[in-house]
């Protein structure tokens, strides 16, 4: 028998070609050009907001908090410019501290405010410390007002409704009551949460003879409320930089939590109503 040749055959592999210096530079140049065009596109899109901002607010100290506020100011102006035919307003609670209501007229000394939502109650046992004061002063200063309840998912819904009803007395010209739901339950299912929300809404509607509004974030709305609560009107919070117009099925849009309002220290939430002032007055209590 012939001996087998056990020598391994040597495989010759061609060395990988290294990218040329020219190709590297070409890629780098393309990336730089793309970034520059993107920046210029964004700057052009927000040109009116940037012009407004740098015309009036360039005297601020540029710390991180101020830089964040600058970005918000530019977007706020851009949003309000695109919705200049709609009524705008704010929402407040005890966190705004002492409000000089006779000065609450405009946002950034430029955009007139037409309405305010005021926090009244929290859960089944807590009153907002500034509700009574804010509620009376808003009326005295002829601002269309509305009251909202911060709902706690892990507490009895009817007790929460009872507290709100005892606290808030709606009058002619006031906005419908609002249920603010933002948290998910810790010790109950989503289905049980929905039952509790419906109990609150029904109890409050039976008392005031007007259908409440539901406030929540856009994702919460899409994931849990949009289908089963479709017969209610919604006030949606969305602060995303890319969004500049509200959806047709939203009644109110809370588009920022970082606005400057005359008469209030610190940041304030600002909202747009999906209609003009006359249409806003149409949905108030008769």
The pLDDT value recorded for residue 58 is: 38
* pLDDT tens digits along 94-131: 999 999 999 999 987 789 999 999 999 999 999 999 99
- Please check whether residue 219 is in contact with residue 243, taking contact to mean a CB–CB distance below 8 angstroms: no
Rounded CA separation 227/230 (Å): 5
- Quick check: 55 pLDDT over 60? no
Token digits of residue 178: 């609002």
* pLDDT tens digits along 6-25: 555 555 555 555 556 667 67
Cβ-based burial of 86 (10 A; exposed 0-12, middle 13-18, buried ≥19) = buried
Of 68, 182, 222, 223, which is the active-site residue?
A: 182
Catalytic-residue membership of 276: no
Indicate the pTM of the whole model. 0.78
Better-predicted residue by pLDDT, 237 or 40: 237
* Most confident of the following: 66-75, 80-89, 159-168: 159-168
Of 73, 91, 128, 218, which is the active-site residue?
A: 91
- Averaged pLDDT, 135-160: 97
85-282 to CATH, choices 3.20.20.80, 3.10.310.10, 3.30.930.10, 3.40.50.620: 3.20.20.80
Torsion, Cα of 92, 146, 150, 79 (10° steps): -60
For residue 149, name the pLDDT band (cuts at 50, 70, 90).
very high
How many beta carbons lie within 10 A of that of residue 114, not counting itself?
Answer: 17
Helix (H, G, I), strand (E, B) or coil at 276: coil
Q: Which of 56, 52, 55, 58 is nearest to 78 (CA)?
A: 52
- Averaged pLDDT, 212-228: 96
Rounded CA separation 238/145 (Å): 22
- Quick check: 161 pLDDT over 90? yes
Catalytic-residue membership of 182: yes
On average, the pLDDT of the chain sits at 85
* Spans of all domains in the chain: 85-282
The pLDDT value recorded for residue 137 is: 98
* pLDDT tens digits along 226-274: 999 999 999 999 999 888 888 889 999 999 999 999 999 999 999 999 9
Which stretch of 60-64, 149-153, 167-171 has the lowest confidence by average pLDDT?
A: 60-64
């Amino acid at each position: 028998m012939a001996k087998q040749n056990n020598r391994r055959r040597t495989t010759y592999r061609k060395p990988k070609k290294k990218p040329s210096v020219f190709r590297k530079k070409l890629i780098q140049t393309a990336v730089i050009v793309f970034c520059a065009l993107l920046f210029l596109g964004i700057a052009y899109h927000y040109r009116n907001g940037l012009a407004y901002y740098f015309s009036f607010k360039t005297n601020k100290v540029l710390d991180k908090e101020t830089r964040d506020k600058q970005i918000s100011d530019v977007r706020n102006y851009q949003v309000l410019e695109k919705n200049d035919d709609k009524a705008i307003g704010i929402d407040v609670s005890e966190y705004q501290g002492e409000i000089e209501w006779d000065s609450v007229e405009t946002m950034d000394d430029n955009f007139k405010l037409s309405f305010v939502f005021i926090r009244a109650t929290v859960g089944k046992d807590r009153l907002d410390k500034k509700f009574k004061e804010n509620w009376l002063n808003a009326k005295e200063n002829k601002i269309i007002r509305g009251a909202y309840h911060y709902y706690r998912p892990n507490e009895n819904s009817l007790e929460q409704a009872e507290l709100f009803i005892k606290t808030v007395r709606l009058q002619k010209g006031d906005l419908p009551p609002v249920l603010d739901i933002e948290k998910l339950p810790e010790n109950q299912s989503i289905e049980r949460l929905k039952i509790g929300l419906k109990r609150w809404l029904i109890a409050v509607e039976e008392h005031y003879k007007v259908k409440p509004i539901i406030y929540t974030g856009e994702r919460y709305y899409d994931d849990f409320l949009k289908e089963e609560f479709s017969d209610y009107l919604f006030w949606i919070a969305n602060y995303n930089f890319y969004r500049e117009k509200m959806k047709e099925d939203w009644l109110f849009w809370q588009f920022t939590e970082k606005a400057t309002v005359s008469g209030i220290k610190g940041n304030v939430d600002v909202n747009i109503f999906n209609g003009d002032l006359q249409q806003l007055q149409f949905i108030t209590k008769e």
